[in-house]
Structure 1
């Protein structure tokens, strides 16, 4: 594949940046992305592409689809969090200041989304790609909702690998921590605080929390580090003179690729007298094998790779993925969020470079 010359004045770049301005101007909180889904579907239709839509998810297949080739998914999300109270600008007005475009969702993940769309458009007329492409703009990423990528995947068929568009400053995340939120409950016996009565559930919970604080999982990842357990909330008691018979606490657990979420919960429960109940086990850690074509493509380009501490839709994809995109993760969910035009142009070039290097031999084609 020959790389395409990308400049800010390239028609595709101009078109996708205009799309980003429209997306910023259209509120799209998680589960409320109907209007941005409509914008995206109309954008693809205007480019002569048949857009599929389920709920607030929109996707298109490469027009020169060839049976028997492996499928690569290009995916990013068009939902946003709600704006922080400290915004100094209107979060729903796309505002340029020099190279910077301010607006809610500009960085997370508008910049990566439109850069992936641009790469797809720049390749849409190619009839000699060694793989098939699907471009999916999905919903509910910010809440890991069931109506987002998880809803779409069963309809896409087998996928050999994916590029997840998120702001990574152009570095490549080849592993990502999983997440478990766990509700703990210590059970005691109520009594009068003035007498030696009851069993204080708050003390029982504190004993468990101390054990959790000192507990470490033996398998440490060179990319993601150890499993991280944080107790972030606690609640007990109804009034000052009653020994509480229940104490509830919440744990935020970030899992490396050496453990399944089920294994982590079992190990933590073995350390605790409190009852531990995970809210969900679906957000597993992810990683990609060194011999996967996507990993080989990144390695051939000599780019920096890392393990990501933050969660994305990678956690819901049961196939190898990399996370990559323009913008800075540190800007995500912050007031006066922005993306740079130069970052978008670089992002488009980055995605095209990966796809240009992506090669599947007969062994990999047989796997998919």
Structure 2
């Protein structure tokens, strides 16, 4: 058996164990324990913070750049439409069905296999692998909680199902709460100051406005009003109207810049729920992108959010599987996708220099 075959077999066995253990966001203790056992078996030293597992290559050199391999082991909850048992790891030929198999268990075990391959091999970079928690909720106890301790990271490869193509850009997320304020009055008389009408003016602007800068990979910034609430009874002019805006930023604007533009053009008081889920983008001239293109990988902009949004260093999103299967009933991964993913990750980093 070749080394790559052994790495892939071990990765698939590990994925089966992970699928069989419940690992909803904030409840990843079981899968963290499984990963801990795997790291104990294969590496001399590793660390765990909460449900995040981190292992570094032993030949650390402060003079070298550092690459982070990262994916997550938490999952969403299975919906009622599943026809397979979500925790059974059902194998039928090449197809492995189970919750978290595609998003993002396959990426996690493939990145661990890649790390194992390079663990005792000389590289022009330091290498760290982190399999983290709470990705599905962008939680405070996920990758965000360990990044400060990792020190300076020069490049990250984030494992998510991309068909092993190179997602060089990713939209961010900005959720805004708007409160338009007026004055109550009787609906039958010309009294009051209708907060609902103010909110409607805001919503018309939000619907029509086009940000001038358009991303080559991600297109325009997208704003969608998704909730609205106003009024207490039919004959009272409402003095308050609340609405929610879902904003999907591109790398052309920071979340703070978008917030300033919106506040300058609407009447409501606008409060962001958070501003930390920024868009990301890696230039097509970056050596990792060029290496991926030379391997025949397509480049594209991803509309889905990942832990890239929490990283303030260059990142590339790439992993085995198909994003369309994520959060879907009867989620699955092909074993051939895992084997191919490991081989591609290894090729991507072989003789790579930043």
TM bucket normalised to smaller:
over 0.9
Distance in structure 1 (CA, Å) of the matches to 2:212 and 2:229: 30
* Superposition deviation, residue 171 in structure 1: 1.1
Q: Contact 2:186–2:192 (CA<8 Å) still a contact in 1? A: yes
What is the aligned partner in structure 1 of residue 236 from structure 2?
242
Q: Aligned pair in 2 of structure 1 residues 148, 116: CA closer, same or farther (>3 Å)?
A: same
* Superposition deviation, residue 219 in structure 1: 0.3
Superposition map of 1:1-368 within 5 A: 6=4, 10-126=5-121, 128-360=122-354
What is the aligned partner in structure 2 of residue 366 from structure 1?
none
Distance in structure 2 (CA, Å) of the matches to 1:71 and 1:27: 32
Q: Contact 2:71–2:107 (CA<8 Å) still a contact in 1? A: yes
Distance in structure 1 (CA, Å) of the matches to 2:14 and 2:226: 39
Distance in structure 1 (CA, Å) of the matches to 2:230 and 2:83: 39
* Superposition deviation, residue 109 in structure 1: 0.3
| Structure 1 alignment gaps of length 5 or more | 361-368
Distance in structure 2 (CA, Å) of the matches to 1:136 and 1:173: 19
Q: Contact 1:49–1:60 (CA<8 Å) still a contact in 2? A: no
Q: With the length of structure 2 as denominator, give the TM-score of the two structures.
A: 0.96
* Superposition deviation, residue 269 in structure 1: 1.4
Q: With the length of structure 1 as denominator, give the TM-score of the two structures.
A: 0.93
* Superposition deviation, residue 182 in structure 1: 0.4
Distance in structure 2 (CA, Å) of the matches to 1:125 and 1:15: 18
Q: Contact 1:217–1:226 (CA<8 Å) still a contact in 2? A: yes
> What CA deviation, in whole Å up to 9, does each residue of 1:127-151 have, x standing for no partner?
x211111110011111111111111
Distance in structure 2 (CA, Å) of the matches to 1:299 and 1:286: 19
Distance in structure 2 (CA, Å) of the matches to 1:39 and 1:193: 63
Distance in structure 1 (CA, Å) of the matches to 2:253 and 2:187: 43
Distance in structure 1 (CA, Å) of the matches to 2:17 and 2:231: 50
